[in-house]
Structure 1
C-alpha cells in the first residue's frame, strides 16, 4: 500500500512520544509539559517543552500537522502553483545546562500540495536533518556524531552523506559572522517524486534519521554532563547561544515558514535558549579553548578523517 499522509502523521506522533520518553529517562529529573494547539487555518499540534532538568535546561520536542490554503508568500518562496497544502513534522531543539554538552537540533517533515483548479497535479516531498552545536568542539565527539549519521545515510544511499553533509554546512552558516553554527550534520529537502527512489523508500530513510536522534543525544548527555565547568565556560556558553539565536531569527527557513503560515508562535520560537548574551566585539584569549573552537566553526571539515 502506498505511503499516505495519515501513515506519516501517525509515525511522527510515535516518534515524538519515543524521543520524549528517552530524554526524560536520560535526564533523570526533567519532565515534558504538553500544550495542544489548533491552527486557525487548519490543523494543529502538540508542543512539548522541558525545563530545569538535571541535564537539559530548556528544550522542545514538537509535533505539528497543518493544512489549508497555501499563503501567497509560501507559494512564491516554494515556486508552487496556488493550491491547498498539508505539512507535518517533528522539530527538536535542546539547550543543556553544562557547556560541555552540545546543543542539538533535529527536524523531520513532510509536505504536499493538492491538485489545482486548473488541473495541475499536486506534489509532495520529505525534508529534515540533524545538526550539532557544541559550545566547545571536541573532535572525538564530532567524529562519533558524523559517523552515526553516515551509517544511517549509507544504509539507504552511499551518496547521501557527502551530499547532505555539504548541504548542512552551507545551510547552517551564519553569513554575517562568517562561521558555521556548529559542526553541521546532515540536511536535506525536497526529496520527492523526482528522486530515483519511491515514496516508501524515502519515508524509510526519514524514519531512520528520526530514530537515531535519541540514542545519539543521550550518548552525549551521559558522556559529558559530569564534566567540570566554571563561570568562564558559562559566559562562553551564553555567547554561543547568542549566535544560535542570530541564525534562527535571521536565516532559518523553518522559523520563517512557521511564522508565514500562521503557526503557533510559542512553538516556533521554542528553539531559543532561556538566556543568551551578546558582548560587543568579543575576542577570545589567544590559544584558549574558546579560540580553538572558533577555528573549527568552518565549512567542509572532514570530521571522519
Structure 2
C-alpha cells in the first residue's frame, strides 16, 4: 500500500512542476509563496501569481491536513470516526484575455483509519475542467481528446464515466447552464478488481501532469487574438457565473470552510474582477450568444 506520506510528497512535486511551467508560459509574473499551518493539524503551501502578461490571477495550492472532522462533514461522508488525513493540489487560473479560457484542476487523496467494526476509508478524487469565455470548437476538442488519452491509459471506461460526472457536477442549476465545457471529474475512487491502488495513484499523477501541456497549448493558441471592450465585458460576465458556482455549489470550498481551512487559500479560486450586469442579453447571432448555446450537458467534444 502506498503511504500517505508518499502521496503528499509526489503531489508537492507536481505543484512545483506546474508553477515552473506557468511562470515560463507567462514570461513576466512569478509566484508568491506562503506557508501555512492549520489549527488542528497539518498545513500547506499557497502559491499565487498575479498581474502577468497573460495570467491575471492564479493559484496553485498544496495541502496536507489531518485532525478531526466536524459533524457536518462526517454526515456528508457517511462515516463514524472523525480522524482524517487529506492531501491534494488545487489550481485555478484566470487569464486577462477573453479568448483565453479559465482552467481549474484538483487532485486529492483522503483517508481515515480503521475502527472497531469498520475498515479504513481510502480514496482518490479529482478532475480538470475548462471554462472558456468564448467556446472555440477546436480548443474544446483538443482539451477533451487529451483528457481521453490520459484516461484510456489506465481504464477504457474512465473518460466516459468521468466526463458525464463533470457535466453533472460543474452545473449552475439556478442558471440552467454548465460552468463551461466540462472535462472530467471523479470522487471516492478506490481500488477494485479492475484497478489497483498503485494504478489509481499513477492516474491521479498523470492527470496532474497533464495540466501544464494542456494549458500551455490553449494559451498560446489564443493569447495574441485581438479584443475590445465588448469582449472584456463578456469575460467579466462569465467570471460572475464562475464565482456563483464556486460559492454556491463547489464541494471543495465547502469542505475547506467546514474543516477550518485557510480562507485565503480556499477563496483563491475567485476572479479579481467580475460583473453582474442586470439582465444582460447577448446580441442575436453573436459569439456571445453562440457560447451560451453550448453551455449544456452531453456535448461530445472528442473528434
Question: TM-score, normalization: structure 2?
Answer: 0.98
Superposed displacement of residue 195, structure 1: 6.1
Deviations 1:37-89 (A, max 9, x none): 00011000000000000010000000000000121111000111123000000
Superposed displacement of residue 198, structure 1: 1.2
Count of paired positions: 303
Deviations 1:141-177 (A, max 9, x none): 0000000000000111110001000000000000000
Contact (CA 8 Å) 1:149, 1:185: kept in 2 or not?
A: yes
Matches within 5 A, 1:93-242: 93-116=92-115, 118-194=116-192, 196-242=194-240
Does 2:34 match 1:35?
A: yes
Superposed displacement of residue 121, structure 1: 2.3
Superposed displacement of residue 196, structure 1: 3.0
Question: TM-score, normalization: structure 1?
Answer: 0.98
**Which secondary structure state, in structure 2, belongs to the residue aligned with residue 109 of structure 1?**
strand
Superposed displacement of residue 282, structure 1: 1.1
Task: Give the corresponding residue for 1:60.
Answer: 59
Contact (CA 8 Å) 1:124, 1:193: kept in 2 or not?
A: no
| Whole-Å separation in 2 of the counterparts to 1:122 and 1:31 | 41
| Whole-Å separation in 2 of the counterparts to 1:16 and 1:271 | 16
| Whole-Å separation in 1 of the counterparts to 2:102 and 2:113 | 37
| Whole-Å separation in 1 of the counterparts to 2:7 and 2:225 | 39
Superposed displacement of residue 194, structure 1: 4.7
Task: Give the corresponding residue for 1:77.
Answer: 76
Task: Give the corresponding residue for 1:259.
Answer: 257
Contact (CA 8 Å) 2:191, 2:200: kept in 1 or not?
A: no
Task: Give the corresponding residue for 1:276.
Answer: 274
Superposed displacement of residue 101, structure 1: 0.3
| Whole-Å separation in 2 of the counterparts to 1:45 and 1:253 | 19
| Whole-Å separation in 1 of the counterparts to 2:245 and 2:188 | 22
**Which secondary structure state, in structure 2, belongs to the residue aligned with residue 85 of structure 1?**
strand
Contact (CA 8 Å) 2:110, 2:123: kept in 1 or not?
A: yes
**Which secondary structure state, in structure 2, belongs to the residue aligned with residue 168 of structure 1?**
helix
Superposed displacement of residue 210, structure 1: 0.4
Greater displacement, 188-197 / 205-214 = 188-197
CA RMSD of aligned residues (A): 0.9
**Which secondary structure state, in structure 2, belongs to the residue aligned with residue 155 of structure 1?**
helix
| Whole-Å separation in 2 of the counterparts to 1:79 and 1:54 | 45
Q: Which runs of 5+ in 1 are unaligned?
A: none
Contact (CA 8 Å) 1:83, 1:114: kept in 2 or not?
A: no
Contact (CA 8 Å) 1:83, 1:115: kept in 2 or not?
A: no
